[in-house]
Structure 1
Amino acid sequence: MSRHDSVPPQPTATTADAAPTHGRSPALGAGEPGYADRHATDYDRWFAKPGITPATVDTLAGLAGTGPVLELGIGTGRLALPLAERGLDVHGIEASQAMVHRLRAKPAGDRITVTLGDFADVPVSGTFSLIYIAGGTFFELADRDAKQRCLTAVAAHLAPGGVLALDAHLPEALAVAAASGAPETVSETDDHLILCHRRIDPATQTYQSHYLVHESDRTHHLRVHFHYVSPGELDFMAERAGLRLRARQGTWNQAPFTKDSAYHVSVYEHR
């Protein structure tokens, strides 16, 4: 996985909050110790995001050029494997060994270079035409210092003309959803039902996502934690890292970013 509250679903998509975890993957996050390792076998089944994945892959492929590319919080390869199928040389960083095992077990999973570690430090060598962080994973980094460290390291690993692409919730949309008190239906199939309820603490710019996963007459309770920043804060931090905003969209389908957007997809380049 990667770290992150999953970006809100597009109108026809069913997605899960990507649970942030310091150096983990986009749907299992900073919660109880060993969280990603314990739930790695269930991750794809619970958080596959079939509605949003094709558009995300298309957009990333369009930004990648000839590669190579690097995913922060690669998880089980939801995005990395389709990108590799398009001929790109894909690398990844992941904190959970169990998630990497799941990736390796998939067809062509052994062709992707994965570094175990905390993606805040971008512990790899070389440069990349595209570095990306999807599923709200950037918010899994615990605080501003970790985010700033990550952005600075990303800038050092971007090839000339390379870009950073990431998605993130909007604080206002998070507050509205939390204030409603109604749980969000993350996924509903014949086999399972996943609900999410968020609790926000504006004083610390953090929120906690509670997931209830019901299947086979059993219910799992997953808790994951995130630290959020506004688009303006993110732009300022990127500037400090030597990056500037190139484009901002309202979805991975490249819909315009408007006052009604629930999240944003932002692309940064060297200043």
Structure 2
Amino acid sequence: MTQDELWDRETADSYDTPGIGAFSPEVLEPTVDWLVELSGGGKVLEFAVGTGRVAVPLTQRGVDVVGVEMSAAMIDQLRTKVDDAALPVVVGDMATVRVPGAGAFQLVYLVYNTISNLLTQAEQVACFRNAARHLAPGGCFVVELWVPELRKLPPGQRAMVWEVQAGYVGLDTYDVLRQQVVSHHFRFGEGSREARLFRSPHRYIWPAELDLMAQLAGFELESRHADWDKSEFTAESRSHVSVYRLPAGLRQ
């Protein structure tokens, strides 16, 4: 399944969950607060802007945001919230697309594990280089990503349940040789046969590997926290928010 097929009309129409999950105030407000701080009043670029979960509230805070998105269906859903004048979107792949004003952005960011949608190491490295290409000297690239939980995967077992809630089960299947994972999201209705499955392929990245990708693109790691509340990142953290900065004198 290609990314175009994955992020189709059905997915876009059901993607937003106002007030809960990733759209809950306790998740969204610290995310926006930190990104506003990092923007420093300058121009901001979001790779894989989707339906605008983060970009729309940023624009409401007065931040000048441009988005990159390859899914026409996700852009259509975004346009139900904000027009092109308030939030321009360039259609393209975040690893290769060139946005007008490249070299003048103060902040580029990628949230909600989206860099793992690029399924090869080469594409992920290209994404870092593309972020650097769009940043002004001294600008920063922010990546939110989960930490692979292979310690929980018994030898010889390829699948792991990572979340169970009322009406929902999240399960990952791993190919540790190719560093690939497919996330399976099962949602259940009231009836015994009412169930929906959404699957998404990813290439998982260790934090140390992510740091090397950043170095190849000219970045330096400025900070790493476990979440948007800036909790300490530890060996037990399941995710991280990493801030990479270009040296002030570096020009791409």
TM-score, normalised via structure 1 length: 0.80
Cα offset, 1:52, TM superposition: 1.4
Greater RCO structure (CA 8 Å; 6+ sep): 1
Match of 1:122 among 97, 102, 108: 97
Superposed CA deviations along residues 92-131 of structure 1, whole A, max 9, x for unmatched, are: 0111111111111115675100011111113312221110
2:55 — aligned with what?
A: 80
1:13 — aligned with what?
A: none
Q: How does 1:1-271 map to 2 (within 5 A)?
A: 34-37=5-8, 38-45=10-17, 48-50=22-24, 51-107=26-82, 111-126=86-101, 127-171=104-148, 173=149, 175-176=151-152, 181-185=160-164, 193-215=167-189, 217=191, 218-271=194-247
Question: 1:260/1:198 Cα in 2 relative to 1: closer, same or farther (>3 Å)?
Answer: same
Secondary structure of the residue aligned to 2:210 is helix
State how far apart, in whole Å, the 2-side matches of 1:250 and 1:170 are. Answer: 10
Alpha-carbon RMSD: 2.2
State how far apart, in whole Å, the 2-side matches of 1:33 and 1:68 are. Answer: 28
Question: 1:177/1:102 Cα in 2 relative to 1: closer, same or farther (>3 Å)?
Answer: farther
Task: Work out whether residues 106 and 136 of structure 2, in 8 Å CA contact, stay in contact via their aligned partners in 1.
Answer: yes
Task: Work out whether residues 122 and 154 of structure 1, in 8 Å CA contact, stay in contact via their aligned partners in 2.
Answer: no
Secondary structure of the residue aligned to 2:95 is helix
Cα offset, 1:48, TM superposition: 4.3
Cα offset, 1:35, TM superposition: 2.0
Cα offset, 1:260, TM superposition: 1.6
Q: Percent identity?
A: 35
Q: How many residue pairs were aligned?
A: 236
Task: Work out whether residues 55 and 65 of structure 2, in 8 Å CA contact, stay in contact via their aligned partners in 1.
Answer: yes
State how far apart, in whole Å, the 1-side matches of 2:239 and 2:55 are. Answer: 22
State how far apart, in whole Å, the 2-side matches of 1:81 and 1:252 are. Answer: 18
State how far apart, in whole Å, the 2-side matches of 1:216 and 1:67 are. Answer: 48
Secondary structure of the residue aligned to 1:209 is strand
Secondary structure of the residue aligned to 1:266 is strand
